Structure formats: structure tokens, C-alpha cells
Amino acid sequence: MEDFIQRRRLARIVDQAAKSAETWPTPESGWISTMRRALGMSADQVARRKGVSRNAVYQAERSEKDGAVSLKQMERLADAMGGKFVYAIVPKEPVERLKYAQAVATAEELSRTEDGFSSWSQEDQEDWLDDKAAELLHDMPGYFWSLRPDTSDPNSDI
């Protein structure tokens, strides 16, 4: 029961963060450049505060736009500008919806190995899938997340 309660608390946290993140506009020039320009700071001024060259600041701005800047570098630049670097991984949909989609996809995959499943009536198949998905959601066996519901490929996008 404790795991279930903990998972629900964590789900609320990430769901709430996802809602907040929806309203964050992503600046076209990136966060480093946007913060620097909002403060009226030159790259040279940021560089002096950080103890690097002006070119290093410009390179970080380019790297951010390319998705290649490190978290540590973002943290240090934010600090040099009197800011705080924040990052998060948030769900694209509410956590419970993601878990349900996973349970349904896993149940469908398991139905392929269920003896005689294809010969059952449509109603019996749907009942079995519903029951299996509910069981998977409740038990969350070790293989629960091994299948990607959108691709059926456990290694895609990893």
C-alpha cells in the first residue's frame, strides 16, 4: 500500500509540474540569451562573472539552441546572471492516463499468447482485455513498462 500512496503523491507532483510547464513559452533565442538580454547584460559581463571568455558564453547560447548544453553549464550561467536553473521531466499526459495506456497495450500484447483468444467472441475478448489491463494496473509486474504503447518497440526513443 505504501508504494501505491507514494506513486500517487509523485504522480500529483509531476502532473502539477506538467500543467505549469504548459504555460512556459520557450524563447526562440534560448533561455541563456533571453535572460542575459532581459537583464541588459552583455556576453562579456556574463563571461566575467562566470570566469570564462565572451566566446564561451556565445558558444553556450548556440549549444543550448542545438540541445547540446550541459545541465551544469546552464546552472553556472544562471547563477552568473543572478538566476536559478530549473529543469524537469514532465508527462505529456496525466500519469494515470499514461499508466492506463501502458496497461492496455501490454494486455493487447499478452492476448497474442493467450490460448484461443482469437476464436473468442468480441465481447469475451474485450472483457479479457479490460480485466487484464486492470490486473496489470493493480499489480504493475516487472515487465509492465517493457513495451512502448505507441510503437511496440521497447527501445525506440531511448
89-141 confidence digits (pLDDT tens): 999 999 999 999 999 999 999 999 999 999 999 999 999 999 999 999 999 99
H helix runs in 40-121, sequence order: 43-50, 54-66, 71-80, 95-111
Say whether pLDDT at 151 is over 60.
Answer: no
Yes or no: say if 99 and 105 are a contact pair by the CB < 8 Å rule: no
- Considering the entire predicted model, what is its pTM? 0.76
Residues 54-96: tens digit of each pLDDT: 999 999 999 999 999 999 999 999 999 999 999 999 999 999 9
Identify the pLDDT of residue 157.
46
